[in-house]
């Protein structure tokens, strides 16, 4: 079962990654919650969904954009953020830069299982881990308009590590596009004409 860990990231580093690798603007409107489940609307540029989140996982149901916007207007909590996705050794990572309800930058690492999570050594450019901090998940940020303040030191070494990350992601994307691009068709070879036939 996938395991998620969450970290703060310095705003300047999140901005550098976002500007270099691009991002998608997403919104979530969180509604009522139960002891083990909650419901929210997820809105992207090209699709909207109603999501039922439980300990066993999330169930996504497509919504028309108008329906999603109407539900979002009535929801008690809302977040808007820009997301950049990167791939690390042993994990996929989503870097979310929140703009609503307030500025906050969070990196969320997703692992295949507990063993992969335990083996993960956070890179130097990640800030404090907030996985087990109370009310630091997206739902709580939306429903309680929470802001998390933390001093995250930045050094030349950390900036260099982020630049290396950007280079690796750009190379990965370039190689992915190269594999996805079909080879140019080669023109068929002209049939050889026997010399004897020409002489005849």
Q: What is the pLDDT of residues 52-73, one digit of tens each?
A: 999 888 999 999 999 999 999 9
**CATH number, position 52:** 2.40.320.10
Q: Per the domain annotation, does 33 fall within a domain?
A: yes
Domain count, the chain: 1
Q: What is the pLDDT of residues 155-186, one digit of tens each?
A: 999 999 999 999 999 999 888 876 665 545 54
Q: Per the domain annotation, does 199 fall within a domain?
A: no
d(CA 6, CA 94): 9
Q: Per the domain annotation, does 56 fall within a domain?
A: yes
Q: Per the domain annotation, does 175 fall within a domain?
A: yes
Cα–Cα distances in angstroms (integers) from residue 16 to residues 12, 33, 68, 98, in the given order:
6, 35, 31, 15
Per-residue model confidence (pLDDT) at position 181? 57
Tokens for 18? 């976002």
72-73-77-82 Cα dihedral, nearest 10 degrees: 60
**Structural element, H or E, at residue 179:** helix 156-180
Per-residue model confidence (pLDDT) at position 200? 45
Residues 11/149, Cβ–Cβ less than 8 Å: no
Per-residue model confidence (pLDDT) at position 176? 80
Which position has the higher pLDDT, 177 or 188? 177
Q: Per the domain annotation, does 130 fall within a domain?
A: yes
Q: Per the domain annotation, does 70 fall within a domain?
A: yes
Q: Per the domain annotation, does 194 fall within a domain?
A: no
* Domain with 39 in it: 3-180
Q: Per the domain annotation, does 89 fall within a domain?
A: yes
């Amino acid at each position: 079962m996938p395991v998620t860990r969450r970290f703060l990231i310095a705003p300047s580093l999140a901005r550098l990654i976002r500007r270099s690798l691009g991002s998608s603007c997403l919104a979530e409107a969180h509604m009522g919650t139960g002891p083990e489940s909650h419901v929210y609307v997820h809105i992207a540029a090209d699709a909207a969904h109603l999501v039922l989140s439980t300990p066993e996982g999330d169930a996504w149901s497509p919504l028309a954009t108008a329906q999603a916007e109407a539900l979002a207007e009535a929801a008690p909590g809302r977040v808007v953020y820009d997301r950049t996705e990167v791939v690390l050794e042993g994990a996929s990572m989503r870097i979310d830069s929140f703009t609503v309800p307030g500025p906050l930058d969070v990196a969320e690492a997703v692992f295949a299982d507990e063993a992969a999570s335990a083996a993960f050594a956070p890179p130097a450019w990640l800030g404090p881990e907030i996985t087990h901090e109370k009310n630091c998940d997206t739902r709580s940020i939306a429903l309680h308009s929470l802001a998390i303040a933390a001093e995250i030191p930045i050094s030349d070494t950390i900036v260099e590590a982020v630049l290396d990350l950007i280079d690796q992601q750009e190379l990965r994307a370039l190689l992915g596009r190269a594999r996805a691009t079909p080879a140019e068709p080669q023109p068929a070879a002209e049939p050889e004409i026997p010399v004897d036939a020409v002489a005849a």
